[in-house]
Structures are given as C-alpha cells and as structure tokens.
Amino acid sequence: MLVDHNPRKTSAPLPAGRSDPDALRRVDSATLLGPGGEVLIVHQQQVYRLRVTSLGKLILTK
C-alpha cells in the first residue's frame, strides 16, 4: 500500500509572498556548484559566493 506523507496536501492558501514548494524549480547542488564546489551569485548588483564546506554543508557569503 502506498502512503502519501506530504503535509502540504491542504487547500489552505499560502501566506502572501510565499511560493508553493512543489512549484519551485529544483537544481541539484552538484550541478549548480560545479566541480569546484562553489558558484558566484549576483543579486541586486552584489556578489555572493555559495560553496560547500569541508563538512558538506552549504554556506553563502558576501
């Protein structure tokens, strides 16, 4: 028997400014970060670095 454990299966509206997680684009971190394990992101003319730490966590720095 298949059981769906998705708690988002409700008809309640989402708060203003929030997107439905099921409708968001998903990108694998290895694809995003590439072989070097980091990527530069430009947001509102500011440059941020997203990288993988030595413990395998993601960190975003300005």
Q: Is residue 13 part of a domain?
A: no
Q: Is residue 11 part of a domain?
A: no
Share of the chain residues as helix, strand and coil, in percent rounded to the nearest 5: 15, 25, 60
CATH number at residue 49: 2.10.70.10
Supply the range of the domain harboring residue 47.
28-61
Q: Is residue 53 part of a domain?
A: yes
Average pLDDT, the chain: 84
Report the DSSP pairing between strands 46-52 and 58-61.
Answer: antiparallel
Q: How far apart are CA 62 and CA 47, in angstroms?
A: 6
Q: How far apart are CA 36 and CA 50, in angstroms?
A: 11
Q: Is residue 5 part of a domain?
A: no
Percentage, residues of the chain above pLDDT 90: 60
Where is pLDDT greater, at 24 or 59?
59
Q: Is residue 36 part of a domain?
A: yes
